[in-house]
Amino acid sequence: MKKVLLFSLMLAFLLPIQVNAQKKKSKKDKTTQTPSKSKKSKKPTYKTYVNAKTKTDEGLFKVHHNNGKYIYEIPKSHLGKELLLVTRIKDIPAGLGGGYVNAGSKINTQVVVWEQFQKKILLKVKSYNAVANDSLPIYKSVKANNLEPIIYAFDIKTQNPDSTAVLVDVTKFFSSDIKAISALPSFFRTRYKVRRLDASRSFINSIKSYPKNIEVIQDFTYDASAPPSNRNTNTITIRVNQSMIVLPEDKMMPRLYDKRVGYFSIGNVDYSSEALKADSKRYIRRWRLEPKDMAAYNRGELVEPKKPIVYYLDPGTPEKLRKYIKQGVDDWAKVFETAGFKNAIMAKYPPTKEEDPEFSMEDVRYSSIRYVASTTRNATGPSVSDPRTGEIIESDIIWYHNHLRSYRNRYLLETGAANPSARTLDTPAEEIGEMMRMVISHEVGHALGLPHNMAASYAYPVDSLRSGKFTQKMGIAATIMDYARYNYIAQPGDKNIRFIRQLGPYDHYSINWGYRLVPNANTPEQEVKTLNKWIEDKADNPIYRFGAQRFDPSAQTEGIGNDQVKASTYGMKNLKIVAKNLSKWTSNQTNNYEDLSELYGELLGVWSRYVGHVTGNIGGVYEVNKKPTQKGFVYEPVDKAKQKEAMAWLQQNAFKTQNWLLDKSILANIDESGYTNNMLRLQNRQLYTLLNPRRLERMIDAEVLDNKTYTALNMIRDLRIGIFSEANYTRNVDVFRRSLQKSYIDGMGRLLNSKNTMHADIKSIIRGELEGLNFQLSIAKNRKVNRITKYHYKDCLAKIRNILDPK
């Protein structure tokens, strides 16, 4: 009992102490928490991001820059509006893409929208691959089955003082490796073994805002095990340009594409169609030209457009070249008159800072011709268009400084025999200027929406190109958009010849078709009847034909004239004269061999092109796009006689050793070796073109339509008989022919043992011809020929045995 009483007294004594201790502890906790509340950061305000230290650039969005952070102030009125996001390579490392990628190359174009979702701003891609009229029920299904991807989600930092805009921090977005806007596609990453973006060597170079666009320049550095240049650095550094351009709210009425007229195009799948399937539609890409006076335009008068197409010259363009570049643009003004517009296109010199302090070639309101200090020999004519309608919004044509050297060299090689002024390394300034003018005109054509039209050079008869009267009026091809740079057909003694290309009748025709407004047409479909008539009125005239370079020998790059065998024969005659005088026109003048070496290498390329034009006839198929209302077939194989003529020409001018190309006075001064391999490489290009499975398949298919055609068996047999002609006689085989004959056997072997699917007849033909060749060489090796020829035949026989019986 005493123990219980004692325990009770102790408990009564301790309990108040514990309670008081808890109270003290609670008070202590409150006092420790209070300071933490006072230290909690205040909710950011507008002044947190925009203050005295902030640099602000006014434009489409306000862009604020402060302490390395970039803030977009996005007006709420712009949320949901469609913008075009264009990713371009601004500057590239040497060798990127193997020389086929240039500074200024477009990598990606996508429509984007900024949308608010709760406390975030989402940047979403809006696709126009699938469309439907938003008044139709199916529109909901199109939206549900084409969910728009979110590129990035930004936290809303705050609003502007009057709550009309939200602020988001875009620093991380533009300094991270975001695949959706990357200028280094996955195939480059694989090819160059790119591991990661190095953030310590990557940064935002600048962000500038203009009234209709925002331009972001990013400098990105990647760790890469196999970079295209500077291999020991294990690094690729690339400068990227992100252009965000506001798209017009009043959409231009698109014009439906017709493959019978050459235009770049955009496409989508339209689910509004009443047909039994979704309707694939394509629209041409073109500038919006609207007459100031529609009534006068409809009366057939020339009318100025409300907004002409204007190109500004790069302030860095050398003064002596400016007039030629300007002429190259202005030449198109006369072409647009065919479509009813006067003063529709022009070039202007760049304004001075006093004239326009805000002028910038990055501003989307100004299209430009940029002069790039680069050793690249090229020029390009890219443009940016609205993917909803095909309307071209802006264009920046690029001219690379060294490009004129290519034209000087080809001018000498292709026209020097008949053109005395081309026989020099110091081409007259006016002639160089004329070449530059025509290159600019060609690139402007691309920027107007016109692709290459390789069929245009086939429109003119070969011998007409030897006529001064004809060439001065018509040029050397029906369009500037063909790769028909020089008149290599004109012969020594021909008078008053135009040697340089120019705008032609097809250019007037295509611009009229694409840009002339169709009266009383309010939809693209309502224009079709008129557009179709414009085509069919010209359909029987080859001058107005459009042809893409594929399998059609009448649509080949760099060719001129409507008979490749005849044209290349003229070209070879001229090239032999040039080869004979090449030292005289180069090294004898400069007292060094650098130019001789360069021009000899390019001379071999010219020879190869002339040969290739003839090769294209064998297994070639003419393609003339037509509608069912037009007469004739779309596809017609080249007739047998023309193919046999081409094969005979190739045996004489390509596969026979071309001793005139092996001039000791040239070779012994430019290289110590490599002559046989160089010649074999050029011959193999033609040989393996002929032995291409697709070509052989076309020839086999042609037999179905015409049993009198030149067959695949005919071609392989004629090829064998010509290349091994020495084996039928007691003749030694020279080193060039020995190499070529072995290449023929190797090529046949690859076809026979290929695991790729081919027409069954191809392997039968190859096996039969190799067995025939085996018999032929078994006899030839026993003839009285020199030892190396005997060894060669024995080696060929061993190769054939290994192909026919690999075991």
Contact present, 123 and 155 (Cβ < 8 Å): no
Q: Which of 618, 626, 609, 488 is nearest to 545 (CA)?
A: 626
Rounded Cα distance, 194 and 202, in Å: 15
- pLDDT (0 to 100) of residue 446: 94
Residue 102 gets the label, from left (phi > 0), alpha (psi -120 to 50) or beta, of: beta
CA distance 587 to 593: 5
Q: How many CB atoms lie within 10 A of CB 232?
A: 6
Do 34 and 130 touch, CB atoms closer than 8 A?
no
Parallel, antiparallel, or unpaired: how do β-strands 309-313 and 367-372 relate?
parallel
**What's the DSSP call for residue 149?**
P
Please identify which residue in the block is written with the tokens 């005493």: 2
- Whether residue 616 contacts residue 642, with contact meaning beta carbons closer than 8 Å, is answered with no
**530 vs 552: CA distance, rounded Å:** 29
Q: Residue 382: CB partners within 8 Å, gap ≥ 6?
A: 104, 105, 106, 395, 396, 397, 398, 446, 447
620 vs 710: CA distance, rounded Å: 10
Residue 508's contacts (CB-CB under 8 Å, 6 or more residues apart) are 335, 338
Q: In sequence order, which residues have a C-beta less than 8 Å from that of residue 771 and are 6 or more positions away? A: 804
What pLDDT is attached to residue 16?
47
pLDDT for res 279: 63
DSSP state of 352: P
For tokens 């110590």, what's the residue? 672
CA distances 460 to 375, 487, 546, 565, 632, Å, are: 35, 12, 14, 14, 21
Reading across the β-sheet that carries 265-270, which strands appear in turn?
130-131, 265-270, 279-284
Q: Are 374 and 401 in contact (CB under 8 A)?
A: yes
DSSP E strands, 524-671: 621-623, 635-637
Listed as ranges, residues in the chain with pLDDT below 70 are: 1-41, 99-100, 129-147, 268-279, 373-375, 757
DSSP H or E stretch at residue 498: none
Q: How far from 613 is each of 409, 454, 457, 709, CA to CA, in Å?
A: 20, 12, 12, 20
CB 158 within 8 A of CB 48: yes
Q: Is 592 exposed, middle or buried (0-12, 13-18, 19+ CB in 10 A)?
A: exposed
Q: What are phi and psi of 146, to 5 degrees?
A: -140, 60
- The crossing angle, in degrees rounded to 10, of helices 564-585 and 403-415 is 110
Which pLDDT score is estimated for 462? 98
Per the CB < 8 A criterion, the answer to whether 106 and 382 are in contact is yes
Cβ pair 369, 349 in contact under 8 A: no
Domain ranges of the chain: 54-246, 309-513+522-585, 635-804
Helix (H) or strand (E) holding 578: helix 564-585
3-state secondary structure of 341: strand
Q: pTM for the complete prediction?
A: 0.87
Q: Where are the beta strands (DSSP E) in 181-229?
A: 194-197, 203-209, 213-224
How crowded is residue 674: how many other Cβ atoms within 10 Å of its Cβ? 11
Provide the 3-class DSSP secondary structure of residue 229.
coil
In contact, 497 and 468? CB cutoff 8 Å? yes
CB 326 within 8 A of CB 313: yes
Four-residue CA torsion sign, 255, 259, 261, 263: positive
Q: How many residues does the chain have?
A: 807
Residue 624: closest CA among 535, 563, 693, 686: 535
Task: Give the burial class of 352: count Cβ atoms within 10 A of its Cβ; 0-12 exposed, 13-18 middle, 19 or more buried.
Answer: exposed
